[in-house]
């Protein structure tokens, strides 16, 4: 029988149960329920000898007090993803694969903010102070006035932050902290949730911005597992493919800004370098464009980004054709292939199909449908698209090319990088023709016909 007052937390999903069982009812994981000592069942209120009635003090939405200004760290790409700077009193969670550069990024953010007069502290539970100093010296940040500490005890960290006044604090990482109020080991759901709750409470009470580093699991999810994401104000994901020097900082949750912004960095010998024009990095500038390549004019957050879609359609050597995609949704690829087969007469049933987004960038925008379809049709027909052409547009299951948002912004970015023409939806074209001449197509069959017949000289 379950003991009175005992609760059990799943170390895989964070679900809380009032009795122990071999399998978690929430995530179906085995042997992951661990008792939380001293905890109360969900919904139970603590009883005291003297009961005091406290009433809530309600206020209106209007306020005469101006909100505090955002903290500008000086790393423009980081400030962009945060929504224009870090909000005082907020808690941010930064996750990413091991070795992607989370500690490097946050050390640069701390040092850059300190050079601008912001009081910063960097608390590490994974590195010694001398190791952090050595990394800062290699990056040329040794002169920044950043307070360093190596500590994993939550009580000592809270006492130090309450004693000294800081504007920006980095905790690297939340999985290494432990609270003496719980018997569970560091990194467990109980400890991560308890430590994150206390740090968020301190951030709200003292008005200090706290940046928490979170590890990720094998599936790419922020470990903890997801109990910390509900506590913090913003969740940022630091991504990067092995073999590529590019790093993408992407917002997954942000209470103070947009969640579709990205920041682009390039990893070098002395740290991360901000990339002001990411389109120039993701495009191949040399030589003629090969068959199966199409340049997509996309929008990431508030900035336009041009990236190359690469497709290869080859005869299948086995009974079951292979479908492989990198940087795009595999379900979206299956839909585009089905539309090409049903509406355009292109057969892929006996062919292997490979699709890649160059540069390690991951595209989630529906406006990339036409670019992927153009790359696939170009490879299947063995006809190369023009070197100075960009493609964008959303596809419907009927083969219709639907209009997309901010078409004028896409065309201006393409014109700035030297492109001279575009293939896009017929509906929604900018008045006056826009920055580039656009070959408007209403259906996917029209786009495939243009590619196959190489009719690119009379764009209308």
- The verdict on whether residue 97 carries a ligand-binding annotation is yes
| CA 10/CA 32 separation, integer angstroms | 5
How is residue 393 written in tokens?
Answer: 């547009």
Cβ count near 169 (within 10 Å):
27
| CA 152/CA 166 separation, integer angstroms | 19
- The verdict on whether residue 29 carries a ligand-binding annotation is no
| CA 47/CA 424 separation, integer angstroms | 66
| CA 373/CA 311 separation, integer angstroms | 9
Q: With the C-alpha atoms ordered 96, 102, 106, 112, is the resulting torsion angle positive or negative?
A: negative
- The verdict on whether residue 100 carries a ligand-binding annotation is yes
| CA 297/CA 408 separation, integer angstroms | 11
Q: In a 3-state reduction of DSSP, which class is residue 439?
A: strand
How is residue 182 written in tokens?
Answer: 């719980």
Instruction: Please choose, from the candidates 414, 431, 305, the residue with its C-alpha nearest in 3D space to the C-alpha of residue 357.
Output: 305
- The verdict on whether residue 219 carries a ligand-binding annotation is no
| CA 389/CA 271 separation, integer angstroms | 35
The answer to whether the CB of 359 falls within 8 A of the CB of 244 is: yes
| CA 455/CA 402 separation, integer angstroms | 21
Q: In a 3-state reduction of DSSP, which class is residue 156?
A: helix
Dihedral pair phi/psi, residue 133, rounded to 5°: -65, -40
- The verdict on whether residue 98 carries a ligand-binding annotation is yes
Classify 85 in phi/psi space as left (phi over 0), alpha (psi -120 to 50) or beta.
left
Instruction: Please choose, from the candidates 147, 168, 148, 151, the residue with its C-alpha nearest in 3D space to the C-alpha of residue 159.
Output: 151
The answer to whether the CB of 374 falls within 8 A of the CB of 423 is: yes
Instruction: Please choose, from the candidates 184, 190, 155, 157, the residue with its C-alpha nearest in 3D space to the C-alpha of residue 171.
Output: 157
- The verdict on whether residue 102 carries a ligand-binding annotation is yes
How is residue 3 written in tokens?
Answer: 């003991």
| CA 144/CA 137 separation, integer angstroms | 10
The answer to whether the CB of 376 falls within 8 A of the CB of 311 is: yes
| CA 363/CA 300 separation, integer angstroms | 9
- The verdict on whether residue 134 carries a ligand-binding annotation is no
- The verdict on whether residue 156 carries a ligand-binding annotation is no
For the annotated binding site, the residues are 96-103
Residues placed in the known binding site for ATP: 96-103
């Amino acid at each position: 029988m379950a003991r009175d007052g005992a609760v059990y937390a799943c170390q895989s999903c964070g679900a809380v149960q009032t009795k122990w069982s071999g399998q978690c009812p929430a995530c179906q994981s085995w042997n992951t329920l661990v008792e939380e000592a001293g905890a109360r069942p969900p919904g139970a209120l603590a009883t005291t000898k003297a009961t005091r009635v406290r009433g809530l003090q309600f206020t209106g939405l209007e306020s005469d007090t101006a909100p505090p200004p955002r903290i500008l760290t000086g790393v423009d790409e980081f400030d962009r993803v945060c929504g224009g700077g870090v909000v005082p009193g907020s808690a941010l969670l930064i996750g990413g694969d091991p070795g992607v550069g989370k500690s490097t990024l946050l050390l640069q953010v701390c040092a850059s903010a300190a050079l601008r007069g912001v009081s910063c502290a960097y608390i590490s539970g994974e590195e010694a102070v001398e190791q952090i100093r050595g990394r800062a010296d290699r990056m040329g940040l040794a002169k920044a006035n950043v307070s360093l500490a190596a500590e994993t005890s939550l009580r000592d960290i809270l006492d130090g932050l309450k004693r000294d006044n800081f504007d920006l604090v980095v905790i690297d990482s939340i999985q290494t902290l432990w609270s003496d109020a719980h018997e569970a080991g560091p990194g467990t759901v109980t400890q991560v949730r308890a430590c994150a709750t206390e740090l968020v409470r301190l951030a709200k009470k003292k008005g200090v911005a706290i940046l928490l580093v979170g590890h990720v699991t094998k599936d790419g999810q922020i470990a903890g597992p997801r109990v910390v994401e509900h506590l913090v104000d913003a969740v940022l994901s630091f991504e990067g493919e092995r073999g590529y020097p590019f790093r993408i900082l992407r917002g997954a949750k942000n209470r103070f800004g947009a969640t579709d912004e990205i920041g682009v960095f390039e990893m070098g010998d002395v740290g991360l370098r901000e990339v002001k024009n990411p389109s120039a990095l993701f495009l191949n500038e040399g030589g003629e464009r090969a068959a199966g390549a199409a340049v997509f004019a996309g929008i990431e957050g508030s900035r336009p980004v041009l990236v190359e879609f690469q497709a290869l359609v080859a005869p299948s050597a086995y009974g079951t054709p292979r479908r492989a995609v990198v940087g795009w949704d595999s379900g979206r690829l299956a839909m585009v292939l089905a539309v090409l087969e049903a509406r355009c007469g292109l057969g892929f049933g006996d062919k292997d199909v490979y699709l890649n987004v160059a540069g390690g960038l991951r595209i989630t925008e529906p406006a990339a449908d036409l670019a992927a379809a153009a790359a696939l049709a170009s490879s299947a027909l063995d006809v190369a698209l023009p070197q100075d052409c960009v493609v964008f547009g959303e596809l419907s299951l009927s083969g219709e090319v639907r209009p997309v948002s901010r078409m004028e912004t896409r065309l201006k970015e393409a014109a700035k990088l030297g492109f001279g023409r575009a293939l896009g939806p017929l509906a929604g074209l900018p008045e006056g023709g826009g920055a580039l001449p656009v070959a408007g197509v209403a259906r996917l069959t029209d786009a495939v016909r243009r590619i196959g017949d190489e009719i690119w000289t009379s764009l209308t």
